[in-house]
Chain A
Amino acid sequence: MLRMTIRIVVSTVLTLWTIATITFVLMHSIPGSPFTRIDDEFGPMIQAMMEERYGLNDPLHVQYGRYLANLVRGDLGFSLTRPGLRANAIIARTFPPSARLGLMAIALSFTTGILLGVTAAVNQGKMADKIALFFATLGITTPNFVFATLFIYVFGVHLRWFPVMGIDTPAHYVLPLVALSIGTVAFVSRLTRSSVLDVIRQDFIRTARAKGLTRQSVLYKHVLRNAIIPVITVLGPVLATTLTGSFVIESIFAIPGLGNQLVNAVSNRDYTMIMAMTLFFSFILVLGNMLVDILYSVVDPRITLHNTNK
């Protein structure tokens, strides 16, 4: 258990360092200096001053060392297009709404997905299974911005059931939440279905039924407990898709969140902000995955077997 944890932590730290290094290399391979635009507006002297001020004339390894030291202290730099604003301040302001939306979406994805999957598996081959398959296929094959646009059109503009801009009231959350989780619901429901079908055929289920337990009690106490383990292992990938999905969803629904900021930074070519947010997102994802990995090995000792690479 302890060895496992140490191994996970070490590989996480290595991953974080690799991410930081790749980001540094990529950002320094952009031709020209980040102040080329300033050069256009104010002339080469100002540009030289700016470069001096931000230490861009130092040798690369000095810059790299400073960059890593700043990262360790949690300093992500400044915004290029909004002078005086630090990346940390922007992230601190925009992260809470994103985190709220994301966590709710993950909760919704898993509850709805597992419910749908179990229903489909229990009614294998019947109408309920086919309907679930239809919606899952729809969810897996359609990009989320198509859903978001459709929802705004149908439920926002046409039926006027829900507001479509911002996140001022709980009703504002409904459409973005559904649009953000629909793909993951589909994914989780398919996975749950096949996992439940796997477990249902096992001998110990037959034994439980033979003992005279009711269908309900076998389903909840025996089947679900075992079937849910492979479903929970996709928490990491689901975290990632929800996060990247939020870029699109937040910008469609005008939610003042981190994903929206990233899309803006991309369209403004605000390199330092893109870098800062990519780092922040990656760190969240990697640390989230680390926690999840450690939790699994606590919850189910069998899972360590899958993690060894042999």
Chain B
Amino acid sequence: MYEPDSPTIDPAAQTDDWPLPGDPTILFLPMGTDVAMLERIDRESMSFWQDSWRRLRKNKLALTGGVFVILFTLIAIFGPMLTRYNPNSQQLRLTNQGPSATHWFGTDQFGRDLFTRVVYGIRISLIVAYVSTVFSVAIGVTYGTVSAVLGGQVDNVMMRIVDIMMGIPSLLYLILLIVVLGPGLWSIIAAFALTGWLGMARMVRAEVLSLKNREFVLASRALGTRMRTIAARHLVPNALGTIIVLATLSIPGAIFAEAFLSYIGLGITAPQASLGVLASDASDTFMTFPHQLLFPALAISLIILFFNFLGDGLRDALDPKMKK
């Protein structure tokens, strides 16, 4: 916040040097215009991203979320190095053990090390979430930008299609899609990508529409740039804030939907196991071995929580208009 320096008046000095009343030439002195002063730049100029980072940095919750999101991602990538067990090797003499020094989270009904399985579960769940989000962002951004850039009747028809598809309950169609494609990692990713792009397309279109008529786009067109180049160089990069926020906030949704699908038997197929599969398997044995549900469920909740923190923080930082 900028505050002008308030003039300091020394009361002691006032008695002696006080100008005589009725002498306007001394009372009112012209300020003059100091051109150098007017043009002076007080601080370094900040790019949009620096400004957003500054806002994000102040938000403790968002930073915590960001740190843990990175941590979970690192676990997903390097996790297998943390453990000396194979997630699928069964030790039938060591089934359903509680947490101990050798098996940190205990073992499951086949004697598999639960810590290792949770680590691999985080990996699978995050692969599903990240990859499907990348695909739905790609489809949504392309569709939304094309619709906004072409405008007119084409835009109208393209958006009516989105409206109609938005009316279709997506979770039900996920079930149908996966029944058709057969359960498995790639069909889940494909199904999420196919149902997840609609919201993205709508938001990106709105964003691009508002950017399309700005002066910098006009300038670029005046210079003879093709619309396709303008879209790629100016419109999409300027909508990136919205895109990042939506992508971050869509990840918890994907993890939740994957857990739901696992529970009704349409999740990732063995030998791979996502967190959802681990949790739904463990809910069968929960009465006798509650710890088997505790760890995967905790991992799901924490991942969703931290992505929500980060997403909300990013929304406030990147797109203050969207703040509720």
Docked Cα-Cα span, A271 to B182, in Å, equals 12
A248 touches which of B159, B169, B260 (Cβ 8 Å)? B260
Are A18 and B165 in contact, CB atoms less than 8 angstroms apart? yes
**Size bracket, chain A contacts:** 35 or more
Knowing A143-B276, A143-B297, A282-B168, say if A149 contacts B283 (CB, 8 Å).
yes
Q: Does B264 contact A (CB under 8 A)?
A: yes
User: Taking the complex as formed, is A11 at the interface, i.e. its CB lies under 8 A from any CB of chain B?
Assistant: yes
CA distance A213 to B276 in the complex (A): 52
A141 at the interface (CB under 8 A from B): yes
Say which residue of B265, B276, B293 sits within 8 Å of A267 (CB atoms): B265
Report which A residues bind B (CB closer than 8 A): 11-12, 14-15, 18-19, 22-23, 26-27, 29-30, 137-138, 140-143, 145-146, 148-150, 152-153, 157, 194, 198, 240, 243-244, 247-248, 251-252, 262-263, 266-267, 269, 271, 274-275, 278, 281-282, 285-286, 289, 309
Q: In the complex, how many angstroms separate the beta carbon of B262 from the nearest chain A beta carbon?
A: 9
A143–B259 touching, CB < 8 Å: yes
Question: Measuring CB to CB, which residues of chain B are less than 8 angstroms from any residue of chain A?
Answer: 159-160, 163-165, 167-169, 171-173, 175-177, 179-180, 252, 256, 259-260, 263-266, 276, 279-280, 283, 286-287, 290, 293, 297, 300-302, 304-305, 308, 324
Do the beta carbons of A15 and B169 come within 8 Å of each other?
no
Residues of chain A contacted by B265 (CB below 8 angstroms) = 263, 266-267
Select A15's contact among B168, B173, B175, B308, beta carbons within 8 Å. Answer: B168
A and B contact pairs by CB, cutoff 8 A, 9 listed: A18-B165, A23-B176, A30-B180, A141-B305, A146-B300, A148-B283, A153-B290, A248-B264, A282-B172
Which residues of chain A are within 8 angstroms of B280 by Cβ–Cβ distance?
145
Residue of B nearest to A147 (CB): B297
Chain A residue nearest to B183 (CB atoms) is: A266
Residues in chain B near residue A152, CB distance under 8 A: 286-287
Contact A281 B169 (CB under 8 A): yes
Interface of A is mostly: helix
Closest 4 CB pairs of A and B: A15-B167, A141-B301, A149-B283, A141-B304
CA distance A137 to B324 in the complex (A): 18
Known A-B contacts A29-B180, A141-B308, A143-B256; the reply to A149 vs B286 at CB < 8 A is yes
Say yes or no: A143-B290 contact (C-beta < 8 A), given A26-B177, A309-B163. no
Give the total number of A-B pairs whose CB atoms are below 8 A apart. Answer: 118
Would you call B300 and A142 a contact (CB within 8 A)?
Answer: yes
Residue of B at shortest CB range from A16?
B167
Are B167 and A11 in contact, CB atoms less than 8 angstroms apart? yes
In the complex, chain A residues whose CB is within 8 Å of the CB of B179: 30, 266, 269, 271, 274
Given A146-B297, A263-B265, the answer on whether A282 and B169 have CB atoms closer than 8 Å is yes
Is there contact, CB below 8 Å, between A157 and B287? yes
Q: Is the CB of B172 within 8 A of A244?
A: yes
If A15-B167, A143-B297, A244-B171 touch, whether A26 touches B264 (CB-CB below 8 Å) is no
Flag if A266 contacts B263 (CB, 8 Å): no
| The residue from B160, B169, B175, B290 contacting A240, defined by CB atoms under 8 A apart | B169
B174 closest partner in A (C-beta): A244
Point out the residue from A26, A140, A247 that lies within 8 Å of B304, measured CB to CB. A140
